[in-house]
A and B are shown apart, each in its own frame.
Chain A
Amino acid sequence: MELEPIVSVKGLNFSYPKRDVLKDVDFELHKGEVVSLLGANGCGKSTLIRLILGLIKGKGEIKIAGRDLHTYSQKEMASHIAYIPQYHNVPFNYSVLDMVVMGRVFKLGLFASPSKNDFDIARTALKTIGIASLANRAFGELSGGQKQMVLLARALTQEAKTFIMDEPVSGLDYGNQMRLLELINELSSMGYTFLKTTHYPDHAILVSSRVVVMDEGHIIASGTSSEVITDAMMQDIYNIDAKIITYDDKQLCIPILKGQR
């Protein structure tokens, strides 16, 4: 018997007053997968993620571990799925350790404060991500890449096994982008399941067990990167010319700019 999918979406619709964002979307996320959601700006990938997290409400069925999303409390959701937003500025300049320990708070009783144990878990998470030395730095003074790593460490402290990331590499320099992808790979081999949106076909190729392509509120393809990421698909979703080649057994996406072909 096949395992219950972690996330199962059926016939999901979402619209703003004047615009349909998602139309009849079916989607599943299974344990151990690393799924990259690929698509142009405004195709609905962020909306799909926010619906799955229960941050906004749409029409249709969303099940988390076989149970209807609406029967979950915020607390139960956080113990199943950790959300890693794009790094951002925080109005109050918390220390890195304080920031990471916030992932533990939903587990605490009303009258409890984070204990030594919670701080130990936070330090361990920082170590796992490889940024233990940042623990006492102020979050606001970190680089974009470091901030993104801190948010990933915070997700680890939630002890959820599924991570949802929205454009995890946006704003990071090339080296940090690659380091983050390595980290996703590493965590995936430790048993974490990932659903992430991305703007980069190359990143979807580098780190995904499955690529899901969205266009204008529909899911138009789902499969391995070599099945899904093709010349025709790049033309379809981004309206650009691109050549997908294989070099040294690795798939590469080479965009061809107008006037350079």
Chain B
Amino acid sequence: MNLTNHTKWIVVSTLLLILFAILSLLWGQYPIDFHTFISYLDYKFFGSTNGDIATFALLDNIIMEIRLPRVILAILIGSSLATSGAVFQAMFVNPLVSPGILGVLAGASFGAALGMLISEQWFVVQILAFLFGFIAVGFAVIVATMVTNSRSTVMLVLGGVISGSLFTSLLSVIKYVADPYSTLPAIVYWLMGSLSSTELSNVLLLSVPMLISVALMIVMSKYFDILSLGDEEAKALGINVKLIRIVAILLATLASSLSVVMAGIIGWIGLIIPHIIRMAIGPSHRVLIPLSAILGAIFLLLADSVSRLALSVEIPIGILTSLIGIPIFVIVLKNARAAWN
């Protein structure tokens, strides 16, 4: 596949992303029609009062306070998870790897639960989720290097399994000791994932490290093609394998633990999005990584719209992505063998 073809896919999917982002601002319990939206934008940015001021105030409230932070958050988290998934798959040379492979999601879940147990402050929860995401990955790496000094990725995966199980058990301990009438339900709901508890300022603040890590993973995509050939061949092709692997693990861990910090556990995106792209377009990481970032965002935007609109109560987004993701994954797996075998 040539360069211009890559660019074409990226342009088309970016336009789709913008379209769905605008639609997500309009869709909801209080639907906004496109015409009203345009006159609202006119009012908002050019001060034109071509309409009812009271309606504009209401729209301003709905869009700026409720829908825009959600849309931005869905885009950030969707692209972070899909990109991290694609990066981990390249690094472990295995298309069945998800962003949680090194224990980051289990660690961050434990951290958040611990935060809810010991503090009422939301930022304590967020900081602990972030910290323990990294601690879990660090633990996986230490276990892997302790057991063997060979730099085999199999050992790293085993380290991740051990770390993930450890923090899942510790999470159970927290659930067991948590107050069953207040803290326990809070933990359980939080683990189901949600894009609702968001303020624009908070989202914008955390968007900086997330965007940077996604952007850097896209920059590194040409190295992931080579990394997936195995360490020795990659080295002989002039690549600093160790450095790239460390940086990639750090970036993918940063992006996925920040996604847990902001929205709890939202599964399956990191697994299915790269699969769909590999099947439809091809496995080259130079297109897979940027497209994962864009399609991951679109997927979560759509899933969030469904979660808000399908029933009169909001369906937790993590449950929904699993329910949508699993059948897609089965279909993809059935057709995917040609793309990675």
Q: B235, B239, B282, B286: which contacts A114 (Cβ < 8 A)?
A: B286
Chain A residues 54 to 90 lying within 8 A of chain B, measured CB to CB, are 54-55, 73-75, 77-79, 82-83, 85, 89-90
Chain B residues 218 to 250 lying within 8 A of chain A, measured CB to CB, are 219, 222-223, 225-226, 228-229, 232-233, 235-241
Q: What's the A-B contact tally at a CB cutoff of 8 Å?
A: 99
**Least CB separation from B230: chain A residue:** A88
**Least CB separation from A98: chain B residue:** B284
Assuming the A-B contacts A74-B240, A78-B238, are A111 and B219 also in contact, with contact meaning beta carbons closer than 8 angstroms in the complex?
yes
Q: Judging by beta carbons under 8 Å apart, are A53 and B236 in contact?
A: yes
**Is B3 positioned at the interface, with any CB of A under 8 Å from its CB?**
yes
Size band of the interface chain A makes with B: 35 or more
Complex Cα–Cα for A119 and B6 (A): 13
**Is B339 positioned at the interface, with any CB of A under 8 Å from its CB?**
yes
Complex Cα–Cα for A53 and B239 (A): 13
CB of B149 to closest CB in A, whole Å: 12
Q: Judging by beta carbons under 8 Å apart, are A74 and B238 in contact?
A: yes
Complex Cα–Cα for A255 and B299 (A): 65
**Is B138 positioned at the interface, with any CB of A under 8 Å from its CB?**
no
Complex Cα–Cα for A50 and B282 (A): 32
Assuming the A-B contacts A55-B235, A92-B95, are A97 and B339 also in contact, with contact meaning beta carbons closer than 8 angstroms in the complex?
no
Q: Judging by beta carbons under 8 Å apart, are A102 and B341 in contact?
A: no
Q: Judging by beta carbons under 8 Å apart, are B3 and A102 in contact?
A: no
Complex Cα–Cα for A16 and B235 (A): 21
Contacts of A75 in B (CB 8 A): 238, 240
Complex Cα–Cα for A237 and B139 (A): 49
Complex Cα–Cα for A222 and B59 (A): 85
CB of B90 to closest CB in A, whole Å: 8
Can you list, as one digit per residue, whether each of A132-170 has a CB less than 8 Å from chain B (1) or not (0)? 000010101000000000000000001000000000000
Complex Cα–Cα for A81 and B95 (A): 31
Q: B94, B237, B282, B340: which contacts A106 (Cβ < 8 A)?
A: B237
CB of B123 to closest CB in A, whole Å: 34
**Is B325 positioned at the interface, with any CB of A under 8 Å from its CB?**
no
Q: Judging by beta carbons under 8 Å apart, are B235 and A54 in contact?
A: yes
Q: A85, A90, A107, A119: which contacts B3 (Cβ < 8 A)?
A: A119
Q: Judging by beta carbons under 8 Å apart, are A55 and B236 in contact?
A: yes
Can you list, as one digit per residue, whether each of A27-57 has a CB less than 8 Å from chain B (1) or not (0)? 0000000000000000000000010011100
**Is B331 positioned at the interface, with any CB of A under 8 Å from its CB?**
no
Chain A residues 103 to 123 lying within 8 A of chain B, measured CB to CB, are 103, 105-108, 110-111, 113-116, 119
CB of A178 to closest CB in B, whole Å: 26
Contacts of B239 in A (CB 8 A): 74, 105-106
Q: Judging by beta carbons under 8 Å apart, are A119 and B2 in contact?
A: yes
**Is B338 positioned at the interface, with any CB of A under 8 Å from its CB?**
yes
Assuming the A-B contacts A98-B225, A114-B286, A119-B2, are A83 and B95 also in contact, with contact meaning beta carbons closer than 8 angstroms in the complex?
no
Complex Cα–Cα for A83 and B240 (A): 16
**Least CB separation from B285: chain A residue:** A92
CB of A16 to closest CB in B, whole Å: 12
Contacts of A95 in B (CB 8 A): 1, 282, 284
Size band of the interface chain B makes with A: 20 to 34
Contacts of A97 in B (CB 8 A): 1-2
Complex Cα–Cα for A78 and B283 (A): 25
Q: Judging by beta carbons under 8 Å apart, are A93 and B340 in contact?
A: yes
Complex Cα–Cα for A55 and B241 (A): 11
Q: Judging by beta carbons under 8 Å apart, are A91 and B340 in contact?
A: yes
**Is B70 positioned at the interface, with any CB of A under 8 Å from its CB?**
no
Q: Judging by beta carbons under 8 Å apart, are B236 and A94 in contact?
A: no
CB of A251 to closest CB in B, whole Å: 33
Contacts of A53 in B (CB 8 A): 235-236
Q: Judging by beta carbons under 8 Å apart, are B238 and A91 in contact?
A: no
Contacts of A105 in B (CB 8 A): 222-223, 225-226, 237-239
**Is B67 positioned at the interface, with any CB of A under 8 Å from its CB?**
no
**Is B332 positioned at the interface, with any CB of A under 8 Å from its CB?**
no
Q: Judging by beta carbons under 8 Å apart, are B222 and A74 in contact?
A: no
Contacts of A79 in B (CB 8 A): 238
Q: Judging by beta carbons under 8 Å apart, are A78 and B237 in contact?
A: yes
Complex Cα–Cα for A61 and B278 (A): 45
Interface of A toward B, CB cutoff 8 Å: 50, 53-55, 73-75, 77-79, 82-83, 85, 89-95, 97-98, 102-103, 105-108, 110-111, 113-116, 119, 136, 138, 140, 158
Listed by A's residue number, 19 A-B pairs whose Cβ atoms lie within 8 Å are: A53-B235, A54-B235, A75-B240, A78-B237, A83-B236, A90-B228, A91-B95, A93-B338, A95-B1, A98-B282, A98-B284, A102-B229, A105-B237, A106-B238, A113-B222, A114-B3, A115-B3, A140-B341, A158-B237
Interface of B toward A, CB cutoff 8 Å: 1-3, 90, 93-95, 219, 222-223, 225-226, 228-229, 232-233, 235-241, 278, 282-284, 286, 338-341
Of all A-B residue pairs in the complex, the 10 with the closest CB atoms, nearest first, are A78-B238, A106-B238, A83-B236, A92-B283, A75-B238, A98-B284, A91-B93, A55-B232, A105-B222, A102-B226
| Besides A94-B225, A94-B282, A102-B229, 5 other A-B contacts (C-beta < 8 A) | A53-B235, A83-B233, A93-B341, A98-B282, A114-B222
